[in-house]
């Protein structure tokens, strides 16, 4: 636990050296919350694409069985 606190304090001191007064007001609320929303949507899209990629493993079994209902449920 001590190492984690030391690492966090080192990161904070480095950030304060480069950007001592960072706040949401500097970059604007629209840009800040837009970035948060963009990150959320991007993570959702990546999650769905990884789920679909995982489901593509069963295409060969679906072709052989002829039963796609088991593989197409999301």
CA distance 33 to 15: 21
- The answer to whether the CB of 23 falls within 8 A of the CB of 15 is no
pLDDT at 32 over 80: yes
d(CA 29, CA 12): 23
Express each pLDDT in 7-29 by its tens digit.
Answer: 777 777 777 777 767 778 888 88
* Count of domains forming the chain: 1
Structural domain harbouring 44: 2-72
H or E stretch covering 51: helix 29-55
Q: Check pLDDT > 70 for residue 35.
A: yes
């Amino acid at each position: 636990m001590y190492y984690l606190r030391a690492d966090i304090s080192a990161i904070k001191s480095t950030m304060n050296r480069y950007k001592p007064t960072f706040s949401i007001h500097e970059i604007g609320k629209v840009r800040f919350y837009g970035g948060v929303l963009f990150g959320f949507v991007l993570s959702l899209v990546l999650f769905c694409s990884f789920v679909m990629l995982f489901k593509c493993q069963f295409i060969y079994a679906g072709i052989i069985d002829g039963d796609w209902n088991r593989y197409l449920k999301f």
